[in-house]
Amino acid sequence: MVRRLFIAGNWKMNTSSSRAVELAEQVAGALAYVDNIDLAVFPPFVYLSQVAEVLKGTALAVGAQDCFYEDNGAFTGEISTAMLKDVGCSYVIIGHSERRHVIGEADELINRKVLKAVGDGLKPILCVGELLEQRQADETDEVVSRQVKIGLEGLGKADVLNVTIAYEPVWAIGTGETATPEQAQQAHAMIRQLLGELYGGSVAQSVRIQYGGSVKPDNAAELLACPDIDGALVGGASLKVTDFAGIVAGGR
């Protein structure tokens, strides 16, 4: 059974080799007291080994910000799931909105990555979320359901328990504009209901659904108090030790 609360820090294309190690050490130190929450940080690929090394034996796991769906071969620039495991990753973010909307990844590609990650024993965080214009056009449920359905296609009940869904409204990522607890709860409840239709009620209750989008120490507690919000995916605030630690403290 998964633990309900999972706080994950996505560092995106930030830090340097020395800053990544320093940040990892500081976050691990600040959160050394935590024993009832799953925590992970997601450094850039090139710093994964160093960060995994300094986090050995701490409460923090390490994950990658993306992966590819083939094992090896002529795929210039791509990183396989075996490579990620080799350097100490246990999680991988797949389908982040910046990969969908800046790089242009489609649901079918994201699904191939999810299947590969689960098949190879990594725990994917499948990101879904609507654009502002889609919310304004009342298309949130339709967009998010499609992303969840296609993203999970081909996964059985046992496999889906290894997936975390991250609901991240695109208009809230990096903007300082957070979804209200009501907006976030509504989307999470819709996702959980959909999981129930796809996999049955008990699986739906056990799959973690995280919220992401400008989570900060001062809004974490009210978001994480919502019944269907099981954790947070934190971008900007995960680069500041006191902010990330404050979010964890607020969510407990």
Positions marked catalytic: 96, 168
Query: Could you say whether residue 163 binds ligand PEP (CB under 6 A)?
Result: no
Count of C-beta atoms within a 10 Å radius of residue 134: 18
Query: Could you say whether residue 235 binds ligand PEP (CB under 6 A)?
Result: yes
Sole binder of ligand PEP in the list 169, 236, 250, 251 (CB under 6 A): 236
Interatomic CA distance for residues 173 and 66, integer angstroms: 17
Query: Could you say whether residue 212 binds ligand PEP (CB under 6 A)?
Result: yes
Query: Could you say whether residue 164 binds ligand PEP (CB under 6 A)?
Result: no
* Backbone φ/ψ region at 73: left (φ over 0), alpha (ψ -120 to 50), beta: left
Nearer Cβ to ligand PEP (148/233): 233
Sole binder of ligand PEP in the list 5, 160, 234, 245 (CB under 6 A): 234
Interatomic CA distance for residues 93 and 248, integer angstroms: 19
Query: Could you say whether residue 246 binds ligand PEP (CB under 6 A)?
Result: no
Nearer Cβ to ligand PEP (204/233): 233
Query: Could you say whether residue 129 binds ligand PEP (CB under 6 A)?
Result: no
Sole binder of ligand PEP in the list 63, 129, 169, 213 (CB under 6 A): 213
Query: Could you say whether residue 215 binds ligand PEP (CB under 6 A)?
Result: yes
Least spacing, CB of residue 72 vs ligand PEP, in Å: 29
- Quick one: which segment of 62-70, 71-79, 115-123, 230-238 binds ligand PEP (CB under 6 A)? 230-238
Nearer Cβ to ligand PEP (213/231): 213
Query: Could you say whether residue 177 binds ligand PEP (CB under 6 A)?
Result: no
Nearer Cβ to ligand PEP (124/212): 212
The DSSP secondary structure of the chain, one letter per residue, reads ---S-EEEEE--S---HHHHHHHHHHHHHHTTT--SSEEEEE--GGGHHHHHHHHTTSSEEEEES---SSSSSS-TT---HHHHHHTT--EEEES-HHIIIII---HHHHHHHHHHHHHTT-EEEEEE---HHHHHTT-HHHHHHHHHHHHHTT--HHHHTT-EEEE--GGGTTTS-PPPHHHHHHHHHHHHHHHHHHH-HHHHHHSEEEEESS--HHHHHHHHTSTT--EEEESGGGGSHHHHHHHHHHH-
Sole binder of ligand PEP in the list 110, 195, 224, 233 (CB under 6 A): 233
Query: Could you say whether residue 65 binds ligand PEP (CB under 6 A)?
Result: no
> Where on the chain is the footprint of ligand PEP (CB under 6 A)?
10, 12, 168, 173-174, 212-215, 233-237
